[in-house]
Amino acid sequence: MKIVYCGCGKFGIDSLNALKASSHTLAHIITHPAKQAGRGQKLRPNGIEQWAIENNIHFSAIEDLNTATGVELLKKLAPDLLVVIAFGQKISQEIINIPSKGAINVHGSLLPKYRGAAPINWAIINGDKITGISIITLAQTMDAGEILATAELKIAEDDTAGDIHDALAKLAAPVLIDTIDKIAKGTAEYKKQDNSKTSKAPKLSKSIGFLDFADSAQNIHNKVRGLCPWPGASASFVNAQTGKKIDTLIAKTQVVSADDENEKFGTIDEDLNILCGTGSLKILELKPQGGKIMDFKSFLNGRGSGKGDYFTMPEIDA
């Protein structure tokens, strides 16, 4: 089949490699325009555009695929199938109707669970042990299309959102090709989602990562993992004697205990663990504002800090 790919996120790179190596024709890639980035604010293409250039695949960078320009491009390309992965644009029914076999999407959760922009992050934040990918048809309600295939993946205790992102991207590629093969042969099975079992995975923001140590050690640990590498989990370190405050990014943690309840949550104990509302947490790595990632003991030693000092939530405008 003749395929047009729409995407801008690196989640789709493994699938692109699989599409290129398959018996189908990857005819064109549609992605977002390059954006200014870095100190020099130079235009920097996204990873999908870079992949297209490196692999000699024709591509178009379009701000909104649903405009007359996008519709005309799709009609001219006349694909059999549209494959959409991490595109970040809602695609109109007019666009979906152009390919003879419709449009499909790879989503990073086991739908109908975690519909939305950040399914991988919320699965980890919520402490899920299993996640996966779903291949669905595109629909006008976000992530509500019919399911063609799913595949599961276990989430380990220390897996971060970055780890699971990369693992799901690899998992998705062969499942996508198998699904496309079935669509081409007319053997694909389309299953409606159970809308009574839906849950949401809304966009992430910096404030979501503000840590409240009145919460349980396990919940805080899950939040640190689920928000790594972006937007990160943050807390303000306070020297109890001087009152000096330092904003930090908590990069890596470990649950030390889970059951004991503490009144002085946020406080560093004699073992340099952080007392939480329930249980205690060991900070393995953190990044002070303006500094580099370091181990927690080095951070404390460099400031003459330790037992009795504490962490609080950052200010809302931090």
Query: β-pairing, 25-31 with 2-6?
Result: parallel
pLDDT for 38 equals: 62
pLDDT tens-digit readout, 163-200: 999 999 999 999 999 999 999 999 999 999 999 999 99
| Domain span(s) for CATH 3.10.25.10 in the chain | 206-312
Q: How far apart are the first and last CA of the chain?
A: 50
pLDDT for 43 equals: 72
pLDDT tens-digit readout, 52-78: 999 999 999 999 999 999 999 999 999
pLDDT for 317 equals: 57
Q: What band does 297 get if pLDDT is binned at 50, 70 and 90?
A: very high
Query: β-pairing, 103-107 with 42-44?
Result: unpaired
- Indicate whether 232 pLDDT > 50: yes
- Indicate whether 37 pLDDT > 80: no
Averaged pLDDT, 3-31: 98
pLDDT tens-digit readout, 129-138: 999 999 999 9
Q: What band does 318 get if pLDDT is binned at 50, 70 and 90?
A: very low
What is the dihedral sign for C-alpha 309, 311, 312, 314? positive
- Indicate whether 35 pLDDT > 90: no
| Domain span(s) for CATH 3.40.50.170 in the chain | 2-197
Percent of the chain topping pLDDT 90: 92
- CA-CA-CA-CA dihedral for 165, 169, 175, 179, to nearest 10: 100
Of 173, 175, 170, the C-alpha closest to 188 is 175
Query: β-pairing, 310-312 with 233-238?
Result: antiparallel
Spatial contact of 86 and 12, defined as CB atoms under 8 Å apart: yes
Averaged pLDDT, 291-298: 96
Residues 6 or more apart whose Cβ sits within 8 Å of residue 70 = 30, 62, 64, 95
Mean pLDDT, the chain, as a whole number? 95
Which has more confidence, 136 or 258? 136
Q: The pTM is what?
A: 0.95
CATH 3.10.580.10, applies to 206-312: no
CATH 3.40.50.2300, applies to 2-197: no
3-state secondary structure of 87: coil
